[in-house]
Structure 1
């Protein structure tokens, strides 16, 4: 940090499993990636190439290398996994991971209908070779999954080999964990937390108000995902109580 402030929360240090920030790359250029890593690399824990953008990304191997050389793992969005699976190309997907030297993979079923035991089989298979993040929740705003099913699926996916489970929100933050207005389904989140350890969950929270809500609920070191590259530093200020939205949250009994 550039100067000293008292009563600022202590952030975990990389490599970390709590206070984890997943950033979404939706098609940054090579130069943008270089600038992003140079300016903000210490604050990002992993980068997701959103949905199936890696299929179209120019200089994909070079981009991946820039991130990895900076100590930032990369993985392809779960929609790409689903695109391979629905075409009966799971083994081709595994070869793609190997081709690009990826050590992380996401398993999801937000866009396809996949029996949950089959999803867990995919997790178990992939976890033998890579670190698996699995996503729970539907991308269909009309499909409301009750809390007990979220919990059951998260528990089973962790048992199958997932390193962390991701709470679905899409890039817009208007499905899954959230209502179409972006409002948090507070009862859902609180019920999930009665059964699933918070360090095992990454909450997709692309909107500032959502990030603020989770920081106030779980503290500076909550795991958050689907963060836009240009929102990474603003998120850190939210985590540290250095933005108006959380300014008083960490001050304790300090009085003027």
Structure 2
């Protein structure tokens, strides 16, 4: 007899996405890891600008894509190129590694939303094969404290209207920035305002901690989009999605 579990959308998925944060997985390890767990992973993000210095980057990108996993170099590297060179050079850099997802963010730099919208428009015009994702929220808790729910909602709307496939809700790799306060507490009033205004299928919630993951799964179901997942915890996250851990044991939402 089979267990009755929440129905998981199968790959290739438009929602129910799991995006891992690759911060130094060795190439040899990665191949074995993906052979076992590729069915649970949709996007691999090279976080904190690490894509610029990681060894065997081209080989790693190819390996991910061979297993049907999209690759993104994240927002920090985008902001570094924005600050020091140009967005065109960053796009050419992505193309040189066969990466066709680009994240436009303002997590470290204060890049006005109007400027980000201009960048998105330019990228979509010049690099039509790119999938563009936007991010809302600052990595700095102090800056995040100043963002009102109206600002969050407005930025999400403008990013979606500009053609972003998804809007990422910032949380940092630690779950202590963006939509979360410095102590890891969810900014619930802002979060509630966001999800009352937008379909969660259009959003990717950064959720590096189990308490974050279980909250989002219990609220939206097994097929909520989750980002910044630690690679060696991918089986824990999928178990949470399918009600196989105590925190989501009684959740039947698909």
Matched, 1:189 2:191: yes
Q: Deviations over 1:109-163 (max 9, x none)?
A: 1111112111011112223420011110001011221111001001001111110
Q: Distance in 1 between matches of 2:123 and 2:197?
A: 25
Q: Distance in 1 between matches of 2:2 and 2:231?
A: 26
Q: Distance in 2 between matches of 1:48 and 1:200?
A: 18
Specify the alignment match of 1:141 in structure 2.
Answer: 141
Matched, 1:4 2:2: yes
Whether the 8 Å CA contact 1:127–1:162 is kept in 2: the answer is: no
Q: Distance in 1 between matches of 2:136 and 2:175?
A: 14
Specify the alignment match of 2:172 in structure 1.
Answer: 170
Q: Distance in 2 between matches of 1:184 and 1:115?
A: 24
Specify the alignment match of 2:116 in structure 1.
Answer: 119
Distance apart, 1:171 and its partner CA: 0.2
Higher relative helix content: 2
Q: Distance in 2 between matches of 1:34 and 1:85?
A: 32
Structure 2 residue runs without a partner (length 5+): none
Distance apart, 1:36 and its partner CA: 1.6
Whether the 8 Å CA contact 1:183–1:210 is kept in 2: the answer is: no
Distance apart, 1:89 and its partner CA: 2.0
Q: Distance in 1 between matches of 2:203 and 2:159?
A: 12
Give the 5 Å matches for 1:76-155.
76-128=73-125, 129=127, 130-143=130-143, 144=145, 145-155=147-157
Q: Distance in 1 between matches of 2:155 and 2:85?
A: 23
TM-score normalised over the length of structure 2: 0.94
Q: Distance in 2 between matches of 1:100 and 1:199?
A: 29
Specify the alignment match of 2:205 in structure 1.
Answer: 203
Whether the 8 Å CA contact 2:221–2:251 is kept in 1: the answer is: no
1:24 is paired with a residue of what secondary structure? strand
TM-score normalised over the length of structure 1: 0.94
Q: Distance in 2 between matches of 1:103 and 1:90?
A: 14
Match of 1:237 among 236, 239, 244: 239
Distance apart, 1:190 and its partner CA: 1.2
Whether the 8 Å CA contact 1:81–1:107 is kept in 2: the answer is: yes
Whether the 8 Å CA contact 2:175–2:207 is kept in 1: the answer is: yes
Distance apart, 1:105 and its partner CA: 0.8
Q: Distance in 2 between matches of 1:102 and 1:194?
A: 33
Say how many residue pairs are matched. Answer: 248
Distance apart, 1:57 and its partner CA: 0.4
Specify the alignment match of 1:40 in structure 2.
Answer: 37
1:138 is paired with a residue of what secondary structure? coil
